[in-house]
Structure 1
Amino acid sequence: MFIFFSELLDRRILDEAGNGWGKLNDFVVQLGEMFPKVLHLYVVSPRPKTGKVISWDEVLSLDGNVIKLKGDASGKFHNFHSKPQGLLLRDEILDKQVVDTYGSKIERVNDLHFLINHGELRLVHVDVGIRGILRRLSLLKIVDGLSNWFFAYQIPDKLISWKYVQPLAKDPFKEALKLNVTQRKLTEIHPSELADILEELNSEKREAMFKSLDIETAAETLEEVSPEVGVSLIETVTEEKASDIIEEMAPDEAVDLLADLSEEKKESLIQVMEKGKREELEKLLAYPEGTAG
């Protein structure tokens, strides 16, 4: 059985004992798997307006407009403490940018698509199409009815499998951790396309994504970005990683990047490089700009 996030959000939470606990505000999922599993429901109660989480294992059914919990849920709710591989979907994915690593472009998430199977709820797709927006505005049935009536046409779904999705959060430090979980996805994108994606992002998201790349991918990507972006990116990583990345770059590209850095930064990076590469780059840097080495 498949179900959309918008169809579950703000549903009332009741238990078998008849107690009302508020409304569903979010899901906490576990990263690290191809299709993340929902671990907890984040429930907001009206009076006082507070948020608590309860394990998905306590869910009995998703009947009608209600999410029913097993037995008496008293004492089963607790405060939410973010874990390194935990993700609040409404807060960090819905209406946010993600990288579609299959299509090599940035998309905006309009809805999320789940699979209910063997008692588990797993995130399987993101909806990046107009249907996701219409569904959340409660206009999808109306628009489908009108388009079918007048044009015998229905707006198609635009779903991307989660296995091709790379989240981009607001917090660059938290984001770097998330990207490390699935950075293999980014290495499958051609460096020129990855460079285009990086240049579309704001500085925080760009930094987080770049920090997640392995040395080889980072080097290939730096060869494709603009000089200004290249300088800003190399300055976001540690001196050791920066020197490793530059060593991996083609010599001419490495020299161009080093030449754009401050004299102090350039010298500090060169000094920590392996002797052979250091001597090669110093020789190339000694040539006047615009001449062949």
Structure 2
Amino acid sequence: MTVFDPNGDRVGKVRDVLVALRVDTAPPRALGLIVEVVARRRIFVPMGRVTGVDANSVMLSSGTLNLKRFEQRVGETLVLGELLDRSVTINESGRAATVVDAAIEQTRTGDWVLSRLAVSEPGRLGRRGQLRQLAWDEVSGLALPQTGQSAETLIATYRELNAADVAHALQELPIKRRHEVAEAMGDERLADVLGELPEAEQIVILGTLEEGRAADVLEEMDPDDAADLLAELSNVDRDRLLELMEPDEAEPVRQLLKYSEDTAGGIMTSEPVILSHDATIAEALARVRAPEITPALASQVYVCRPPSATPTGRYLGLAHIQRLLREPPSTLVSGALDDLEPLRPEAPLAEVTRYFATYNLVAAPVVDAQGRLVGAVSVDDVLDHLLPEDWRERARRG
């Protein structure tokens, strides 16, 4: 089938459909189309870009495409390339059959699913058998196995979940399986998931990793999360892991470990968005667009004298992004500063909570006695310390 962009220009030809099989009888979700463009290059087009399908063509919502050559990942299945000619069992009769075609359709929620299969039953004396159309759940043999599933495949089924949901899913697995999945995850993904697990679970999983790998994962964690985790370890284990970390990654964590965990210094992050006194509003807005910055930390930028890494030079003030959005991009951030009194690192949690409530904030600066910015507290850090220690476990149990 030919693929067209919104202007009616030809993009290429559909060569296959990529789906994600599931472990139960639910129809697989169609992830996207494999489209062949110029020079026989095959690219991936997400199903969310498809606005219409008829008997001869596919229409896309945008003419902008990612021309990176398609590379299939673990847990992804090509309908034409891998499902056709697969043997299945018809549930009603128990007879064997062969898949000869498949149908995808759009649900009321807008998702596309592989809803039906055309299967051929073997005929007698070598003759072609009966051709039947069946719903996906009327056959068996194609879903992901409930047992013997590789960790890579399971990780692939978690790919689109956020870290908190993956953490919930991990806790439902047997301990051995949980550790296998953690071992197979990439460092960055595992770091995000660890930050959403109860501390006891974090310690257990970290302890199953080889020390060098554990240090790599700690480097990928937010400094405050890494400090919280290391604070629960013995002094010997903590010092050994800090030594294995890259010095520039370990230093912010060491600084945070100096503060009591129930103070502003103990719950802050040492990596807020920091700008120099001559930075423009355009620069500030560009900085907070970075995907790794949380929404809470992206709500404010902090202006300081050099150096710009914590602990900084003299703290000059903070600017709210909402305020900056109303100002010309070429003007200086320092002209739109709020003179809000910052928190001190030793401020107890009760004082931090009152501070947030008084000024209706989602993030706040932390400045030491020398007038240097040492970090920022975000509202999620405050909530994490106000809730009971086992709040994640309670949420998992409903």
Of Structure 1 and Structure 2, which has the larger fraction of its residues in helix?
Answer: 1
TM-score (structure 2 length as normaliser): 0.35
Structure with greater contact order relative to length (CA < 8 Å, sep ≥ 6)? 1
Larger Rg: 2
TM-score by length of 1: 0.44
